[in-house]
Chain A
Amino acid sequence: MTGLAVDDAAWASAWRTRSPADKLLLCVGLVGCALALPAWPGSVLVGLTAVVLAVGPARVPARTLGRAIRWPLAFIAVGALTAVVQLGGDGIGWAPDAAARGGSLVGHALAGSAAVLLLATTTPLSDLLPALQRLRVPAAVVEVASVVYRLLFVLLESLRTIREAQTARLGYSTWRRSYRSSGALAAAVLTRSWDRAHRLQEGLAGRGMDTGLRVLPEVLPSSRVFRAATVLGLAALVSASQVIA
């Protein structure tokens, strides 16, 4: 358990051992379809496909998916509602095509978010980072990103522990105390992150590893069947969308 539900789901997913490149092909394809196909029926088909694949073969808990979609849903609802309201001389009213425009916005965004969530809940970030290097991102940048991934769980644990202690001491009982505690909490996490980085560096230098944390990436072989099914499935999605429309 890492403390981040999406990351936990990715490590526990039945698709964890599938090649990240295969899953990228599927999910980026679905994201592209969500963006390019008309909301009806394209977005609906993409959204359903992503959710069915996640809770079906990938065995991602539906509860995790539901909880994860809440954040983008809040933005999508407020953003879409604002976009379809019209400002005119008579005040505020609905735009002439409000329902169609709002539906299209919500459809594209929910389908796209579901496709990204399929990738996020089946592929740990540590599997995706080596793929960045193959996309010609400099090794130093990938290494910094890997350190971010390694350290953030340690810092999140520190944050929870310190906040629990502060809460037990009534550190969040009033508005003023909440701010004071939050400032102290941020400072403690920042100084711990520096301390952790210094100690890691000293440890690595002591072992003669001056160039950083080099590890062999886990080899997850690509599946031709999965790739072929992905290409056929995406083509079927596009065709079905055009036929139904």
Chain B
Amino acid sequence: MHIAEGFLPPAHAIGWTLAAAPFVVHGARAVVKEVREHPEATLLLGAAGAFTFVLSAIKLPSITGSSSHPTGTGVGAILFRPPVMALLGTVVLLFQALLLAHGGLTTLGANAFSLAIVGPWVGYGAYRLTRALGGDLLPGVFAGMALADLATYLTTSVQLALAFPDAGSGFTGALVKFLGVFAVTQIPLAIGEGLLGVLLFRVLVTNARPDLERLGVLPVRPAEPEEAR
């Protein structure tokens, strides 16, 4: 759910841009450090960004009968960590604004705050918590991806309610309205994205285990002894 260009009043657009800036700058520094130490990381990070963009082209069937596209912020946070996703997510949002007309330029800060910062951090937190409580990879991935999506939707609703408080009931009433209207698409989408994550990681564990080990998602398996082969 991207806030369209021109939808937020100027003060809110500036405020959310300032709120997002430290996280995006932190992500940019992390990327610059990574690229300086490992020049080959440029292409892997670029591939991660392109994958996040392309993920939004996958249509998920929705319980409401329509179809929605995943945000990809949860999977990015689990695979590449939230600081990197703050930058990659912002780059992807800029690309979506200029290639698909999703979102906008003055609303880039607000969209980055919800989709590239809050979503990945909440998703990653849920994933780590599930794993710390003894959960397996797949329940962790489901929690991480579903909650990243829900957190994004909640944050966008808060942003809209702050910008357009209800004439009678103020911020609270506006929040109830925006949460209620967008719940129709966003709650099924969050569950759908969690399910997609489970199916995606089931395939990855089988077909791309070395990549998941390299990214620290799975522990490195000790090499099999020679005689066991």
Contact = CB atoms under 8 A, between A and B. Distances in A.
- Chain B at the A interface: SS class: helix
Interface stretch (B36-44, B123-131, B216-224): B36-44
A147 B43 contact: yes
Contacts of B178: 79, 82
B106 A191 contact: no
B47 interface: yes
A193 B208 CA distance: 12
Contacts of B182: 78
Nearest to A112: B6
A125 B36 CA distance: 25
Contact of B53 (A79, A87, A152): A152
Interface stretch (A52-60, A103-111, A226-234, A236-244): A103-111
Contact of A197 (B7, B44, B59, B99): B44
Nearest to A137: B28
Given A4-B100, A147-B45, A159 B58 contact: yes
Interface in B40-56: 40, 42-51, 53-55
Interface string B90-116: 011011011111101110000000000
Contacts of A125: 95, 98-99
A25 interface: no
Given A86-B166, A186-B55, A148 B200 contact: no
Contacts of B174: 83
B110 to A, nearest CB: 12
B49 A156 contact: no
B31 A72 contact: no
Contacts of A112: 4-7, 104, 106
CB-based closest 9 A-B pairs: A183-B199, A112-B6, A147-B46, A187-B203, A148-B49, A151-B50, A197-B47, A112-B5, A72-B4
16 contacts: A4-B100, A35-B10, A35-B106, A36-B10, A72-B104, A75-B1, A75-B2, A82-B181, A120-B99, A143-B35, A147-B43, A147-B46, A179-B192, A180-B199, A182-B59, A210-B39
Interface of A: 4, 6-7, 28, 31, 34-36, 43, 68-69, 71-72, 75-76, 78-79, 82-83, 85-88, 95-97, 105, 108-113, 115-117, 119-120, 125, 128, 137-138, 140-141, 143-152, 154-156, 159, 175, 178-180, 182-191, 193-194, 196-198, 200-201, 204-205, 210-212
